[in-house]
A = this chain, B = another copy of it.
């Protein structure tokens, strides 16, 4: 798909392997990283199960160190293979990569601190980097387009849900009172969201006839207004699907290229692009 670059140094080769997926080595790199990410998530989960951690603590510790070293190497390689390292370091993925590598090192200093589980959970965000597969891009592009086009409507809807929850939450606090578990307005609003979204935990339930009547109203309201976001997104999808019928695609899914600019790390270049659409740098010049 790409010509051999006469000026490709080891840096250029490294960049191709790490940031792209259309060479055998690039694909191998992505697969290894994907496995490391999934293994890392499973180990974090298993570690949280007390009985499992007690029995296999050493195994989990070693496995975590191996994964941390893999992520460390990846992080260093990404920095040295990109032309403007600081641009990568302070990019979204750069920060995610850093945060998902650091927890194990910090645990050496502050032993047993639970907060770093959260940092390790950030490793999950790396998964999205692997999702550069062509056929999924088309699907998620359409999904993203639908959500973007109906963003304003969905915000109005969510705001309305929030207003309704505050009004009815306050009302239920007055009607039911603390005896039924509606101990404060925030708790009542929480209950109202639980009811309106048809989740219905049942940890707090109305007991007075008036409270049950208002709850019934909230439930039917929640059951009815779910139609609104569904209608919005459905209509948006139908609209986006029109392209398939008329022949003129409304969301052209042509960005199947996995190349990435060696200068500014911009992605989604056209397949026959010679220069970066973002910074104008030659896509084959890694000097």
A170 adjacent to B233 (CB under 8 Å): no
How many of chain A's residues touch chain B, expressed as a range?
Answer: 35 or more
Contacts of A157 in B (CB 8 A): 143, 224
Instruction: Give min CB distance, A151 to chain B, whole Å.
Output: 9
Q: Which 6 A-B pairs have CB atoms at the shortest separation, nearest pair first? A: A235-B237, A231-B233, A199-B200, A201-B202, A197-B223, A48-B185
A224 adjacent to B158 (CB under 8 Å): yes
| Cβ-based interface call for A34 (8 A) | no
Task: Knowing A198-B199, A201-B201, A230-B233 are in contact, say whether A118-B216 is a contact too (CB < 8 A).
Answer: no
Task: Knowing A146-B231, A198-B198 are in contact, say whether A187-B212 is a contact too (CB < 8 A).
Answer: yes
Cα distance, A238 to B245, chains bound together (Å): 11
Interface residues of A in 187-226 (CB under 8 A from B): 187, 189-190, 193-203, 205, 209, 212-213, 215-216, 219-220, 222-224, 226
Instruction: Give min CB distance, A59 to chain B, whole Å.
Output: 17
Cα distance, A170 to B228, chains bound together (Å): 31
Cα distance, A196 to B199, chains bound together (Å): 8
Contact of A234 among B185, B205, B235 (CB under 8 A): B235
Contact of A203 among B44, B184, B202 (CB under 8 A): B202
Contacts of A235 in B (CB 8 A): 234, 237-238, 240-241
| Cβ-based interface call for A173 (8 A) | yes
Instruction: Give min CB distance, A183 to chain B, whole Å.
Output: 8
Cα distance, A190 to B235, chains bound together (Å): 32
Contacts of A139 in B (CB 8 A): 152-153, 155-156
Cα distance, A173 to B44, chains bound together (Å): 12
